[in-house]
């Protein structure tokens, strides 16, 4: 279960923004990269939960689910084409389902603490956190205020296309020079989400790598402001 988190509150919370860190990452690291994120979101509570599992490649970091379980030799990095690349992520439904089982009660409890509803929730994530955010947002029983993916991909999409419970408005961001998760993932994810019924906005971060950059954070703030309006 999720027992650790970083929280920033700006004003009286009328919206809840939850940001999920990546694999081989943690809440402190992503909080440092978000910098003044909370200052630009008045009357919002910003929660950065810590994944409950020790990272399998470095005990000093965390993970939402095991990547080795589905790709023990890290073959996805050298996949010869996009179809083969995607096939590794399509295997991850079980890991994402387990992630959903501890994120869902965490989200419900946190919304309840502020007397807010699903429509007041913005679920964001980076890398593995983005995959977890996408899966979780689609499987929640009600549509949330907005979904944000930074350097992510829709994983387990065959399962999601058949079983998605909602279709949130979504922002996708991806660096054109991402060396860890192919930049083509943005177009692939946008296409699959639109087929499910989501309204999707996407931006390529020119020259951007696999990171949370100031430019991407500004896009997230703008998206949340627009959704609130």
CA distance 142 to 5: 24
CA distance 89 to 20: 18
Residue with tokens 């920033």: 8
Give the three-class secondary structure for 147. strand
CA distance 56 to 169: 33
- In the numeric block, which tokens belong to residue 145? 């205020």
Average pLDDT over residues 96-102: 97
Residue with tokens 């923004």: 17
- In the numeric block, which tokens belong to residue 66? 């095991």
Strand partners, 146: 122
Would the pLDDT of 1 be above 90? no
Average pLDDT over residues 193-212: 97
For the domain made up of 5-228, give the CATH fold: Rossmann fold (3.40.50)
Would you place residue 35 in the very low, low, confident or very high pLDDT band (cuts 50, 70, 90)? Answer: confident
CA neighbor of 151 nearest in space, from 119, 134, 175: 175
CA neighbor of 213 nearest in space, from 186, 176, 164: 176
What pTM, to 2 d.p., does this model score? 0.97
CB contact at 8 A, 107 and 131: no
The model's pLDDT over 164-201, given as tens digits with 9 standing for 90+, comes to: 999 999 999 999 999 999 999 999 999 999 999 999 99
Per-domain residue ranges of the chain: 5-228
Would the pLDDT of 229 be above 90? no
Would the pLDDT of 58 be above 90? yes
CA distance 74 to 82: 15
CA distance 155 to 128: 9
Q: Mean pLDDT in the chain?
A: 96
% residues pLDDT > 90 (the chain): 97
How far is CA 45 from its chain centroid?
17
- In the numeric block, which tokens belong to residue 118? 């699903």
């Amino acid at each position: 279960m999720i027992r650790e988190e970083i929280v920033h509150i700006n004003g009286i919370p009328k919206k809840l923004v939850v940001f999920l860190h990546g694999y081989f990452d943690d809440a402190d690291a992503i909080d440092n990269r978000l910098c003044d994120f909370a200052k630009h979101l008045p009357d919002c509570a910003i929660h950065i939960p810590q994944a409950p599992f020790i990272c399998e490649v470095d005990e000093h970091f965390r993970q939402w689910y095991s990547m080795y379980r589905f790709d023990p030799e890290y073959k996805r990095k050298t996949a010869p084409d996009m179809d083969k690349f995607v096939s590794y992520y399509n295997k991850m439904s079980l890991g994402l389902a387990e992630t959903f089982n501890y994120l869902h009660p965490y989200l419900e409890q946190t919304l309840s603490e502020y007397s807010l509803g699903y429509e007041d929730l913005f679920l964001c994530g980076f890398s593995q956190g983005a995959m977890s955010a996408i899966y979780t947002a689609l499987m929640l029983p009600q549509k949330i205020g907005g979904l944000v993916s930074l350097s992510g991909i829709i994983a387990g999409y065959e399962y999601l296309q058949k079983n998605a419970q909602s279709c949130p408005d979504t922002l996708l961001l991806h660096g054109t020079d991402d060396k860890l998760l192919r930049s083509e993932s943005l177009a692939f994810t946008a296409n699959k989400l639109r087929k499910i019924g989501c309204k999707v906005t996407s931006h390529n971060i020119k020259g951007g790598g696999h990171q949370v950059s100031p430019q991407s954070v500004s896009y997230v703030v703008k998206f949340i402001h627009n959704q609130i309006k």
